[in-house]
């Protein structure tokens, strides 16, 4: 099976300077750039001896050296110093708040680095950016003198700033500016810690994150990406026994998107997203959206049509929008964002989004909103989208279709191309429509024939029947299928995607069927996401294992049922168990130990690649298998208790 997939994707492969800031001229854009490009203040240099900085569970002991503060910025009429560079000798110590996070640190660092469950590292360079009381605390203990920064000091500062300017990292400048502009009491704090000529570690306190405390290291010596090792709530929250499930750190809640999209034959993409939202805290003055990095923002307007200042740096996925008037909790507002760019990939008369999640401005982890989507596309193409198609008409050389999703959903998606459609109508099952690219499958067939790889013909009928059987099986196991229809189409990638009433399978799943059972598992996994992931979402990244593990095990359960083959069911379970237990168990030494399913996306780091599928999908599936074994009646082998549990949970 792996050989066939590799051949197929080789087929696909054969066919197939400085950053800029955009936005209207405004005080906020100017201030953002001032904070980003801040220089050392020659009037605020000081000798340091035996000074401590305490930030939540971290302590910075500056034993002896020199500290260079950065020039102040004026924000809302107040002067703020927002950074400093310390050169000298010191110690950074960090004690995770929970046993779980302590164990996570030990996976990446040697035991001898620890004392009383505390991570310790020598400091020769400490680069800090902050929007809290750091400067006020330190200036009381220091005597400033005037000294122009040397070339060496400037070079060290510039090196540390590379980790801030790396567009794929969290936006530190936004953290500083939002804390200061929105009067957040326990403000933002970022620290870059290193010994001479060593890879740095990072400590971050971000009051806008649900888990405020973060410990990071460098991904690779080849770049300046940071990766998260630890992330958890501030110490005070554990001491007060805060209900973390009810805690909400978001600024706004998105209620509705109206998106107008125009796509040209060459794949050029233009869109305007009109976003209606409600403030869920006081004094909201700025919002940080995420959008595909290669999309360019043309303009942002408020509900009156007035231009709003914004920042979207080149190759960055962060879109910061500044509001003219602060919003109070409960206030509603509407903005429109016009954008364009190369987000579509064309393969054999079909277009696919390079980002299924961020092809429009997104905010929040699991914000559910309603959608009104209008697509203007060349007449020859068929557009498929989430929601109900309520109108379609021709206008010149274009076809215009409108799709409305009245029930709030996590995200929207679409597909565009020349499709042959197959309608599957089975009693008791919502209508299923399969959309396939004939030209694409013709090209793939020619390639596979040339390489003497066998493949299935008329597979669309088999797939349609398989999907209908999946829905029947999962309806009996989990409860009624949640949506009125189901569209099935394909992606030229190695993975599938599931949206509301809309599933995309990898192309190989449309072409090659094997007796291994994995084709059925892949399809059933994505169908199960209609229950787990689409209908029942994840509140935080810690809960992702529920949607992935449940869907993975559902795929295996379906295989057992449809093939009536318990032997293959247990063989695959054993394969997964072997992968889990032998993960990074090398002949000479062992690699980094895998984390628990609760880690979610944090299971994947530069040293634990591949752990998301292994741990969050396969190991989590074992949790459900364990529950199934607990609930089964061993005398009668009746599984009603397990089925009732799943339906109650759904």
Give the pLDDT confidence of 296-341 residue by residue, as tens digits: 999 999 999 999 999 999 889 999 999 988 999 999 999 999 999 9
- The answer to whether residues 173 and 239 belong to one domain is yes
Number of other residues whose CB lies within 10 A of the CB of residue 78: 9
Residue 43 has which token pair?
């009037």
Residue 363 domain-assigned (yes or no): yes
Domain boundary among 244, 267, 299: 244
- The answer to whether residues 287 and 168 belong to one domain is no
Residue 406 domain-assigned (yes or no): yes
- The answer to whether residues 212 and 282 belong to one domain is no
Residue 138 domain-assigned (yes or no): yes
- The answer to whether residues 263 and 223 belong to one domain is no
Measured distance between the N- and C-terminal CA atoms of the chain, rounded to whole angstroms: 34
Residue 552 domain-assigned (yes or no): no
- The answer to whether residues 426 and 512 belong to one domain is yes
Q: How remote is the C-alpha of 77 from its chain's centroid?
A: 36
Quick check: 517 and 570 in contact, CB under 8 A? no
Q: What is the pLDDT of residue 272?
A: 98
Q: What is the pLDDT of residue 427?
A: 86
- The answer to whether residues 573 and 626 belong to one domain is yes
**Number of domains present in the structure of the chain:** 4
- The answer to whether residues 424 and 413 belong to one domain is no
Quick check: 302 and 324 in contact, CB under 8 A? yes
- The answer to whether residues 373 and 273 belong to one domain is yes
Helix (H) or strand (E) holding 400: strand 398-409
Q: What is the pLDDT of residue 514?
A: 60
Nearest to 418 by CA among 434, 440, 396: 440
HEC per residue, 565-627 = CHHHHHHHHHHHHHHHHCCCECCCCECCCCCCHHHHHHHCCCCCCCHHHHHHHHHHHHHHHHH
Residue 543 domain-assigned (yes or no): no
Q: What is the pLDDT of residue 443?
A: 64
Q: What is the pLDDT of residue 246?
A: 74
CA 205 – CA 186 distance, rounded (Å): 9
Residue 28 domain-assigned (yes or no): no
Instruction: Encode burial over 194-220: b for 16+ CB neighbours within 10 A, e otherwise.
Output: beeeeebbbbbbbbbbbbbbbbbbbbe
Q: What is the CATH number of the domain that holds 501?
A: 1.10.390.10
- Give me the half-sphere count of Cα atoms (radius 13 Å) on the Cβ side of residue 109: 22
- The answer to whether residues 155 and 92 belong to one domain is yes
Q: What is the pLDDT of residue 106?
A: 87
Q: What is the pLDDT of residue 237?
A: 86
Domain boundary among 358, 384, 417: 417
- The answer to whether residues 454 and 506 belong to one domain is yes
Q: What is the CATH number of the domain that holds 275?
A: 2.60.40.1730
Nearest to 341 by CA among 319, 357, 360, 322: 360
Residue 570 domain-assigned (yes or no): yes
Q: What is the pLDDT of residue 341?
A: 95
Nearest to 209 by CA among 234, 181, 173, 243: 234
The domain in which residue 172 lies consists of 38-244
Q: What is the pLDDT of residue 28?
A: 86
- The answer to whether residues 406 and 311 belong to one domain is yes
**C-alpha torsion 301→304→309→313, nearest 10:** -10
- The answer to whether residues 264 and 355 belong to one domain is yes
Domain boundary among 532, 552, 582: 532
Q: What is the pLDDT of residue 220?
A: 87
Residues of the chain with pLDDT under 50: 1-21
Residue 473 domain-assigned (yes or no): yes
How far apart, in Å, are the Cα atoms of 112 and each of 77, 119, 135, 202? 49, 9, 33, 20
């Amino acid at each position: 099976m792996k050989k066939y997939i590799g051949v197929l994707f080789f087929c696909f492969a054969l066919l197939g300077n400085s950053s800029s800031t955009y936005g209207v001229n405004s005080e906020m854009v100017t201030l953002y750039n001032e904070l980003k490009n801040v220089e050392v203040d020659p009037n605020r240099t000081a000798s340091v001896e035996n000074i401590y900085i305490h930030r939540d569970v971290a302590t910075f002991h500056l034993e002896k050296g020199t500290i260079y503060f950065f020039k102040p910025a004026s924000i809302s009429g107040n002067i703020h110093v927002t950074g400093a560079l310390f050169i000298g000798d010191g110690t950074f110590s960090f004690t995770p708040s929970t046993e779980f996070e302590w164990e996570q640190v030990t996976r990446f660092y040697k035991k001898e680095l620890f004392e009383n469950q505390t991570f310790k590292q020598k400091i020769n360079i400490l680069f800090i950016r902050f929007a809290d009381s750091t400067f006020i605390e330190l200036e009381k203990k220091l005597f400033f003198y005037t000294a122009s920064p040397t070339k060496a000091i400037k070079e060290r500062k510039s090196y540390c700033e590379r980790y801030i300017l790396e567009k794929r990292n969290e936006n530190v400048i936004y953290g500083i500016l939002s804390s200061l502009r929105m009067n957040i009491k326990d403000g933002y704090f970022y620290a870059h810690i290193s010994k001479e000529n060593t890879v740095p570690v990072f400590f971050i306190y971000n009051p806008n994150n649900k888990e405020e405390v973060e410990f990071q290291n460098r991904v690779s010596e080849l770049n300046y990406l940071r990766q998260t090792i630890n992330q958890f709530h501030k110490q005070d929250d554990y001491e007060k026994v805060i209900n973390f499930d009810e805690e909400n750190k978001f600024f706004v809640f998105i209620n509705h998107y109206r998106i107008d999209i125009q796509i040209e034959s060459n794949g050029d993409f233009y869109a305007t997203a009109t976003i209606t939202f409600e403030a869920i805290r006081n004094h909201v003055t700025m919002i940080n959206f995420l959008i595909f990095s290669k999309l360019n923002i043309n303009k942002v307007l408020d509900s009156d049509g007035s231009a709003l200042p914004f920042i979207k740096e080149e190759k960055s996925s962060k879109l910061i929008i500044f509001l003219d008037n602060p919003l109070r909790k409960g206030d509603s507002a509407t903005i429109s964002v016009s954008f364009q760019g190369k987000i579509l990939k064309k393969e054999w008369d079909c277009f696919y989004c390079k980002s299924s999640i961020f092809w429009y401005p997104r905010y929040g982890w699991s914000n559910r909103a309603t959608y009104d989507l209008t697509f203007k596309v060349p007449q020859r193409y068929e557009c498929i989208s989430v929601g109900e198609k309520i109108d379609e008409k021709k206008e010149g050389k274009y076809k215009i279709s409108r799709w409305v999703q009245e029930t709030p959903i996590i995200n929207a998606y679409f597909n565009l191309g020349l499709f042959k459609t197959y309608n599957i109508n089975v009693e008791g099952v919502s209508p299923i429509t399969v959309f396939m690219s004939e030209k694409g499958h013709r090209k793939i067939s020619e390639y596979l024939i040339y390489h003497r790889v066998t493949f299935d013909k008329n597979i669309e009928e088999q797939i349609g029947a398989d999907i209908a059987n999946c829905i029947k099986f999962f309806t009996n196991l989990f409860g009624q299928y949640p949506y009125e229809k189901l569209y099935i189409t394909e992606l030229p990638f190695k993975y599938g995607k599931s949206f509301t009433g809309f599933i995309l399978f990898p192309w190989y799943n449309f072409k090659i069927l094997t007796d291994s059972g994995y084709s059925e598992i892949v399809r059933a996994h994505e169908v199960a996401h209609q229950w787990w992931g689409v209908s029942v979402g994840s509140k935080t990244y810690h809960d992702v294992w529920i949607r992935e593990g449940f869907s993975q095990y559902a795929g295996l359960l379906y295989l057992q049922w449809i093939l009536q083959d318990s032997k293959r069911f247990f063989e695959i379970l054993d394969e997964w168990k072997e992968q889990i237990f032998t993960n990074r168990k090398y002949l000479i030494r062992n690699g980094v130990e895998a984390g628990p399913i609760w880690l979610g996306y944090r299971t994947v780091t530069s040293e634990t690649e591949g752990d998301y599928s292994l741990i969050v999908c396969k190991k989590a599936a074992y949790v459900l298998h364990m529950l199934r074994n607990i609930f089964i009646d061993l005398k009668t082998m009746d599984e009603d208790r397990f089925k009732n549990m799943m339906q109650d949970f759904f």
